[in-house]
């Protein structure tokens, strides 16, 4: 987080009410972050077995 012209450190607080759209989005983002970390960093994960063609197909 930054403010234009600010040279000192600042604090940003995110206040989210429970059971709101924002709360649900944050929970979904966290679930996806955990899933991605498990898939990508796991030595036995499928990412290690992807070929160049597989990656090109996924991003095409």
- Supply 2's token pair: 């930054």
Q: Where are the domains of the chain?
A: 1-60
Token pair listed for 7? 């040279």
What is the rounded distance in angstroms from the CA atom of residue 43 to the CA atom of residue 57?
22
Please give the model's pTM, rounded to 2 decimal places.
Answer: 0.56
Q: Which two tokens stand for residue 17?
A: 């009410």
Report the alpha-carbon distance of residue 28 to residue 15 in Å, rounded. Answer: 17
Q: What is the pLDDT of residues 3-56, one digit of tens each?
A: 788 888 888 898 999 999 999 999 999 999 988 887 777 666 677 778 889 888
Beta strands in 1-60 (DSSP E): none
């Amino acid at each position: 987080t930054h403010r234009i012209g600010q040279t000192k450190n600042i604090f940003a607080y995110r206040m989210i009410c429970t059971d709101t759209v924002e709360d649900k989005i944050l929970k979904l983002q966290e679930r996806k972050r955990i899933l991605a970390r498990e898939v990508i960093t796991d030595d036995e994960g499928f990412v290690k077995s992807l070929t160049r063609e597989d990656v090109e197909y996924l991003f095409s």
